[in-house]
Each structure stands twice: as C-alpha cells, then as structure tokens.
Structure 1
Amino acid sequence: MEVSMALIFNTYEIVALGVTVIIANKVCNDCESNWLEGLQLVSVYIILAATFFVV
C-alpha cells in the first residue's frame, strides 16, 4: 500500500482530545449518571464538532 498511515495531529486536535478525556473522567468518576450529566457530555461533543467544522 502506498498510503501513509502516520498519526500527525495539530495542537487544537490534541487539546480537544485531552479536554474531552478530562471532562468524561470528571463526569464518570462518581460511578453514577443522570440525564443532566449526559446532556452536558452531549453538549460538549456538539461544541467540539462545531468548532472542528469551522476550523
């Protein structure tokens, strides 16, 4: 195969991935969940998707 499979990320992608992991860890840390925490996670992912679309 002639396709390069290198994982090269820019700074924004690395920061977004790190922030996502930290937020998901904070929400899931108490071993309980409710609809508000789920809504917060979905809203964070929508905001990230919108900024990736713009950038």
Structure 2
Amino acid sequence: MKIEFLTKEESNRQQQEEFLKLSPAERFYAFLDLSYRLKDFPHQENKKPPSDNFVIEIKYE
C-alpha cells in the first residue's frame, strides 16, 4: 500500500493525466462505472413537501 501526500492541485492534475491516458471507450466505461457507483452515494432527502402556494395554470380555449 502506497500513501502519498499531495496538494489538491497536484491530485487533480494526476487524476486528469491518468484519465487522459485512457482510450475514448475506456473513458466512457469509466464514466458509466462512476455513475453506477454514485447511485448508492448518500444524499439528503427533501424534508419539506412541495407547497402549493405558487401555481401556474395555462388554459387553452
């Protein structure tokens, strides 16, 4: 196991370089994999239900 201490800029540059080394197809599959893994990422639910205090009604004649 290798531990590196990098600044945010160095880390971002390193990630970008590694990503750009991939072929276009590999980049697409990496994107799909990331999207799939993010579906289980915790997120905050809306605490308040939507209110009905502003409703736009369009009536066609």
Per the TM superposition, whether the score is higher than 0.5 is no
Higher helix share: 1
* TM-score computed with the length of structure 1 as normaliser: 0.34
TM-score by length of 2: 0.31
Q: Which has the higher contact order (CA 8 A, sep 6+)?
A: 1
Query: Which entry has the higher C-alpha Rg, 1 or 2?
Result: 2
